[in-house]
Amino acid sequence: MIFQVQPHEDYILVELLVKEANLAYADTFKQEMVKLIDRESKPYIISFKNVDYVDSSFLGALVSSLKYAISKHADIAVAYLNKDILNLFSLIRMDKVFKIHQTLPPQQPA
């Protein structure tokens, strides 16, 4: 299982369970996100709390998922980026594309 899903009142939390968000998981992540979005068109927050690094393939899958989400009137934000991942987002200006939460918005699970 690449991530676990936890519905909240205003968003759906997608907590990545892999330490290495790389090309080994990119396609699966994209496919699973499409399934989720097809099921429920809500804002999603992807938590990188367990993730040590992200490579370009996984980043591409994240962008692809965002594009799909927007086409379905949903949205994707990210949370808990470590220093290296935050630097990566900033480097290629993904910080202009994704809303970045330091922590999760304070809400109770639905």
Which residues sit at the interface with other proteins, rule CB under 8 A? 19-20, 22-24, 52-53, 55-57, 59-61, 63-64, 66-67, 70-71, 83-84, 87-88, 91-93, 96-97
| Rounded CA separation 21/57 (Å) | 9
Determine contact, residues 30/67, Cβ cutoff 8 Å: no
Specify the residue, 8 or 72, whose C-beta has the smaller distance to other proteins. 72
The distance from CA 88 to its chain's CA centroid, rounded to whole angstroms, is 15
Report in angstroms how near the CB of residue 92 gets to other proteins at its nearest.
6
Please tell me whether residue 5 adopts helix, strand or coil conformation. strand
Report in angstroms how near the CB of residue 87 gets to other proteins at its nearest.
4
Specify the residue, 12 or 94, whose C-beta has the smaller distance to other proteins. 94
- Does an H or E element contain 24, and which? helix 23-39
